[in-house]
A and B are shown apart, each in its own frame.
Chain A
Amino acid sequence: MELLTLVAGWIVCAVVGGVGLALIWRIFDGSIDLTKLISEPNGDASMSRLQFLIFTFVIAISLFLIIVSQPHPAFPSNIPPTVLSLLGISASSYLVSKGIQFSNQAGIEQRAPQVTIYPANPTMQYGGTVQFTPKLVSLPGAKVKWSITAGAANGVTLSDTGLFTAPAAPNPFVTHHATVKAEIDGRPDIFDIAVVTIS
């Protein structure tokens, strides 16, 4: 009987080791793709998935240490309710987060990178200023380059932060319009244009 136990034990050991080795190998060669391990359907990384992953690992490794530290490895006789509460908070937060996310289309669809200038086409007086702001979609932390593409001869100015200043007085020989462009730094294909009317 002892021999049978021993043989069964070694078989289990070999199977577990083989499966583990195969898993690790397939992660290394890319057959198991972890790139979207904490990603949402819309391509954003998910904080709720990340915290769930961290707590699961910490509790799993702690449990493993407890089991193997005993003279005869055994599952602990008691799991403290507060540990279950911790996992409950982590898991339920993840589930509620998914519920909130899937209740809106923006949380599911992958949107193309886009910049939009606000206000879109303002009308202003001579001597006035307008602060333009870029609204970014799928471009987290992107830097915006501001420029005047038409109407610079009016004497208008535009700062690096998008503050547009009209000339103090009209010039009868130039138009009363200027065109402002917001372009994503390093992505010249992503831009928006606003026309300013000065009256």
Chain B
Amino acid sequence: MGLLREVLVAEMALLLATLAACIFFQLTTGRINTTSLFYGRYSDGTQYFSPERVQLLLATLVGAAYYFGLVLSQDSLTQLPPVPTQLLELLGGSHALYLGGKAFTTFTKSS
């Protein structure tokens, strides 16, 4: 039974790691389309550089790395640690800014 458990754990770890590596590799090599990731569109289709997208990506990367660090720094890995409320507020604000900017430009024509 112990061997079966170890094989299953190794199998799932390998599957998750390979899937994450595939996506990361394809994202960084451009095989997964990242065109216009930092560009928004006005209602007439014109594109513009969008700082709200850049800040959302930064907040996401910082938030995700911080939480993963919290998980790994626990004395015993028995429960998921709670997300600090400050981090939730930061992410909530970041998303609100992104959505607000997107809503505004979606219904506005470029000047």
Contact = CB atoms under 8 A, between A and B. Distances in A.
B22 A66 contact: no
Contacts of B81: 80
B58 to A, nearest CB: 11
A62 B14 CA distance: 15
B77 A57 contact: no
Contacts, number: 202
Q: For the side of the interface on B, what is the size category?
A: 35 or more
Contacts of B64: 54-55, 58
A63 B92 contact: no
A20 B32 CA distance: 21
Contacts of B77: 65-66, 69-70
Interface residues of A, number: 76
A45 B34 contact: yes
A158 to B, nearest CB: 23
B78 A57 contact: no
Interface stretch (A136-144, A164-172, A187-195): A136-144
Contacts of B38: 47, 140
Interface of B: 1, 4-5, 7-9, 11-16, 18-20, 22-23, 26, 31-39, 41-47, 53, 56-57, 60-61, 63-64, 67-68, 71-72, 76-85, 87-88, 91-92, 95, 98-99, 102-103, 106-107, 110
Given A16-B11, A17-B15, A140-B36, 15 more contacts: A13-B11, A20-B15, A24-B18, A35-B32, A36-B33, A38-B33, A46-B37, A47-B37, A50-B60, A58-B67, A60-B16, A70-B78, A80-B83, A101-B106, A106-B45
Interface of A: 2, 5-6, 9-10, 12-13, 16-17, 20, 23-24, 27-28, 34-39, 42-48, 50-51, 53-55, 57-66, 68-70, 73, 76-83, 85-86, 89-90, 93, 96-97, 100-101, 103-104, 106-107, 109, 111, 135-141
